[in-house]
Structure 1
């Protein structure tokens, strides 16, 4: 056992039995490198990373590799989910050094933490055009002994340039024109859009929910032409539709895998991450609001089912991920073993459910073939040959026609078949579960649950959202020191980063909208204030990943890209807009406009870098629509109207429920106006709608209120999402 045996991170614990003398990233470990005058070998990954497992088996369990690492280096392991600051800083080096990034990330540093060589996965021996890991270790050890000045000089130069880039400051020279950036972003996305299969890149295809967030809200931007607006909505809706029917979407238990290896969303990389479920969940809710298409609602509901069945902590909150690998029937670890089927396995499982004659037809309907349906040229492992991933690419009408039954009967057969296949699959060995709870990721999930309650109206969603919020506040928040923690696993772990504060602030605002309890609004304001106090970058007025007082002693990093997760900058902008809309406090509007100004130089060059921020800008530019529902919160008619009014996607909307029997929330703006409205209450819920500085007559019927609201909503009434 090495020093990792005392850590809480499941990823670090996976390496505790390695013959490599791993150290965690601590002051003691870094000091040891200086004392022994050895370079640091830094290896960064996460517990559900397939290629991290491959390199661990090939290299870190190898006694020859262990001897080299232990004799000539200080080997340090870092969980990227636990320490995003370290991961981000050295990933920038690896991307600049090699032209690509990914995990495992392996970097060699001087004892002063200056990187001089790095990359991602290295095979044990040279192959695929990659240098062998053993040869690299020997060469660096030799250079460190006989030509150290070369490595030190290279490291110092790189480190200096990286620090210089982080500490460079700028003042915006002109007012930001984010309307131009939005138009350019639509043009760039249209140019890279796959009009056959959806998505915006060649394979591997990664879902990027921030793009969907922007595209849905671009449909409301007055500065865009009607053609651009329609294209924006089509690109998002068609991509989400194709993803839902593909192998990247688990057709039996719900949820989405990390990415697709091919262009058709067919063959996924099988790990499942909480942040993907939460952020994609919000995208599918947006799509359902736009179209009223049950496909998007069903996809979201199955996603929630996956969260509750696989990632849910009994006391509330959600675990971080499930692995891509699991044990196959022979007891060997295999990527996708839990999810894949041979054609024979499918037929045998389906026969007692739908009958022998129909089992083959159903198997084909799910996209399976006798030869296997995985793209042959993309299968790295021999074990995946002749395997099938379940798909829903054919319309249900095809199955009904082939079986000679009605559409409704076909739907019932498919549901019955799925349930039977799910029961059979649950007998298999499940993928490894990373059971740490990450604050930021739970914030995204809380936002999705709260919004879903508003749109769908299922009270269980609100209960789960409140349960999650309570869990996070009890286990990751220390009110005495005003400190938020990032990780919970057998107690608190690492102190929180800017994304944790920003995500929790935004999720508390979503929960306030759903629950209408002022305590959530108060907490949102507190977390936003702490974000501004602890993390504002003194050079660019963006946010540092680490708190300023910590960053002064370590490596400064900031997020300026909406990737798999939204950047802190974008999350904060969303919170600021909501806080300003709810409270009317000018300081929030000024800070929001400051963020737009400082993001402009990035967006001017690379408009798709921060699509979430552009989406917030679209909301900010949309006319404010204030909806005040006066009625008793426990009244069923009040609840019905609340969900009906939530159904439309109105970008810049304020929806407040005023209960005449309760005290008016003190943080809300316009208290005198709201008090006047509650005095008019006579037992029946009343809807007040104020737009463009004027208020409409009070409505008692939801349908009439919706007619007033529709001109301000983003709508897509067409039945087909396929761009022409």
Structure 2
């Protein structure tokens, strides 16, 4: 039985799918029923994948999907399926890999043509309605694909079989173990360093993305091997990024990427995951340098999160759109006259700290940015500058706001919760830790039968969770345990790993699949090894297992973490790109650090030293002096005495002698090896 001949997206939980519910296209969401309809009709599937904050997705929607004539062709020739890549990253990764295998550059909107049984045979990204930009018109594409399907169906089906087999081998295959050693980690860091733009930071070329997994690799290289050049590359990249137009100087927060190589012109969408990772990187950078730039940018970005991104129950929304009132960047850009009107006599001082840039080809109003000198001066004079920015923010709040994708994604929230807990601990901001705890509680309470949802929007929840959800929430639970000492978070972390094992572990115990074993609508069960803008699901899983085993002292869990890491590294070694998340997590497995502190809660002397020296490789445990229960195990099953102050710093299975002096602990936590790793 076929589905009704109309658009079926109105009841979907995804704001992105709802955006398309008024299209004349007979859209279906990805579902067994939609796939069955294609088989019954013998029609190919037109699969369109995008997300709510995607600028070119909106362009293609306005040009083609809202056009009655284009929709009529789509409805006549295809079964049309619309997917929110944030709701279904498993589906997105499969068909993006297929597009790459065809030799095409990826991106969104992703436009793929599938056989009725869901196997890809051709595709692309954005197609204009009329031929331009060197691309054929979309109706031309539709008719050419239909003609090929009618005349060459057998050969296209064979091609689709081969392409599907290739994707399955790449995304779901099992490779041998790889030895975890420092050389592999150093090799990745060296290759990333070779791609760094020495003039403007980040990776060379345009467009320019923050690329947090790569920056993380360089930071770990400095921590592990003393490679100061790698640390400096991260610091310089952050400084230049935070001065550029990609950073929202009025309201805080980072846009997804810049279209140029100087961080000036962003695509103005703001994604939750970028800003969670920015907070973490700036937290480490502030601890290493004491540069107030990083502290202030954390404070501004967290203020934006709490002001604009809080969703139902205290969880965080997925993204803000680039467009408002039909124009990209309109909400964020300013003419000189607008600034002068808003600030009056204070506009002169404002322009001492900022400049308005309107580069060649940019059609909107100018973009606020700073030179490096202006950024340094602005931080030094922040007490003078902050009220001016606040005035502009009040004016800006009266503008037509960009659309917000209000769904709360569990894995992205996990990243954000961990970032807020870590920064709140480092900077002494208890209210940030409380905000993280509230978001965590809301997501846990939304669970069903012990299982997490992947996405939530009001009372609509999308089950089952992905492996990335359990991994991110495990890491979030550990970060909250470190920040609060509440054992309930440790229990949650154990429970998440139990569910991860139950629903996602493969039959040979060689790793985990992204989708759950009872997800019946995926053509391929993939592992989730590939980084996107965030570390891969596999990378997050390895990190979660390593950190939980360090926290609990569970040797069986440690064996599982090590085996998972070795096999993940074996698969990563077969890939050319996108495996930094796995390698970074394997760096934690190679050298897990654990710090146990016994201190006085009323007048702590050691805990503040620990808090102001964060290290992504380390798990921190604080015990109140005199405590008799719930004492953490040191490696070797040793219980530290709790009748006196002390700090035990352990690397792997080796612990240094206890430290009782705050200055000595400071020196211990800030000590770095030289570039030879000694």
Report the TM-score when normalising by structure 2.
0.92
Match of 2:600 in 1: 631
Match of 1:281 in 2: 279
Deviations 1:415-437 (A, max 9, x none): 22212211111111110011111
Task: Could you tell me which runs of 5 or more consecutive residues in structure 1 were left unpaired when the two chains were aligned.
Answer: 328-332, 401-406, 716-724
Task: Find out whether 1:194 has 2:162 as its counterpart.
Answer: no
- 1:649 Cα deviation from its structure 2 partner: 3.6
Of 536, 539, 546, the residue aligned with 1:570 is 539
Task: Find out whether 1:340 has 2:333 as its counterpart.
Answer: yes
Q: Tell me the matched-pair count.
A: 667
- 1:167 Cα deviation from its structure 2 partner: 5.2
Match of 1:77 in 2: 82
Given the superposition, is the C-alpha separation of residues 231 and 217 from structure 1 closer, same or farther in structure 2, using an over 3 Å criterion? same
- 1:583 Cα deviation from its structure 2 partner: 1.8
Task: Find out whether 1:375 has 2:378 as its counterpart.
Answer: no
Deviations 1:258-306 (A, max 9, x none): 0011111011010001111111211111111111111111111111001
SS at match of 1:483: coil
Contact 1:626 1:690 in 2 (8 A): yes
Contact 2:477 2:490 in 1 (8 A): yes
Deviations 1:585-638 (A, max 9, x none): 222222222233223345546686332333334344447453322334xx2x23
* Worse-matched range after superposition: 662-671 or 535-544: 662-671
The 5 A counterparts of 1:104-143 are: 104-143=109-148
Task: Could you tell me which runs of 5 or more consecutive residues in structure 2 were left unpaired when the two chains were aligned.
Answer: 1-5
* Worse-matched range after superposition: 340-349 or 389-398: 389-398
Given the superposition, is the C-alpha separation of residues 284 and 398 from structure 1 closer, same or farther in structure 2, using an over 3 Å criterion? closer
Given the superposition, is the C-alpha separation of residues 709 and 206 from structure 1 closer, same or farther in structure 2, using an over 3 Å criterion? closer
CA–CA distance in 1 between the matches of 2:102 and 2:245?
A: 34
Task: Find out whether 1:9 has 2:2 as its counterpart.
Answer: no
Deviations 1:52-92 (A, max 9, x none): 10000000011111111111111111111111111110111
The 5 A counterparts of 1:215-364 are: 215-221=218-224, 224=225, 226=226, 229-313=227-311, 315-327=313-325, 333-352=326-345, 354=346, 359-360=347-348, 362-363=350-351
Of 33, 36, 47, the residue aligned with 1:28 is 33
- 1:669 Cα deviation from its structure 2 partner: 5.4
Task: Find out whether 1:664 has 2:629 as its counterpart.
Answer: yes
Deviations 1:223-248 (A, max 9, x none): x4x5xx11110111110111111111
Match of 2:444 in 1: 473
Given the superposition, is the C-alpha separation of residues 145 and 278 from structure 1 closer, same or farther in structure 2, using an over 3 Å criterion? same
Of 405, 418, 425, the residue aligned with 1:447 is 418
Given the superposition, is the C-alpha separation of residues 526 and 39 from structure 1 closer, same or farther in structure 2, using an over 3 Å criterion? same
SS at match of 1:154: helix
Match of 1:403 in 2: none
SS at match of 2:131: coil
Given the superposition, is the C-alpha separation of residues 500 and 397 from structure 1 closer, same or farther in structure 2, using an over 3 Å criterion? closer
- 1:161 Cα deviation from its structure 2 partner: 2.9
SS at match of 1:196: coil
CA–CA distance in 2 between the matches of 1:391 and 1:51?
A: 24
- 1:547 Cα deviation from its structure 2 partner: 1.4
The 5 A counterparts of 1:147-166 are: 147-166=152-171
- 1:200 Cα deviation from its structure 2 partner: 1.2
Deviations 1:150-187 (A, max 9, x none): 33232223223333444543323xx5154222222222
* Worse-matched range after superposition: 235-244 or 143-152: 143-152
The 5 A counterparts of 1:700-715 are: 702-711=662-671
SS at match of 1:628: strand
Task: Find out whether 1:646 has 2:611 as its counterpart.
Answer: yes
SS at match of 2:9: helix
Task: Find out whether 1:589 has 2:558 as its counterpart.
Answer: yes
Given the superposition, is the C-alpha separation of residues 104 and 592 from structure 1 closer, same or farther in structure 2, using an over 3 Å criterion? same
Of 597, 602, 620, the residue aligned with 1:655 is 620
Report the TM-score when normalising by structure 1.
0.87
Task: Find out whether 1:413 has 2:384 as its counterpart.
Answer: yes
Q: Larger Cα Rg: Structure 1 or Structure 2?
A: 1
Task: Find out whether 1:91 has 2:96 as its counterpart.
Answer: yes
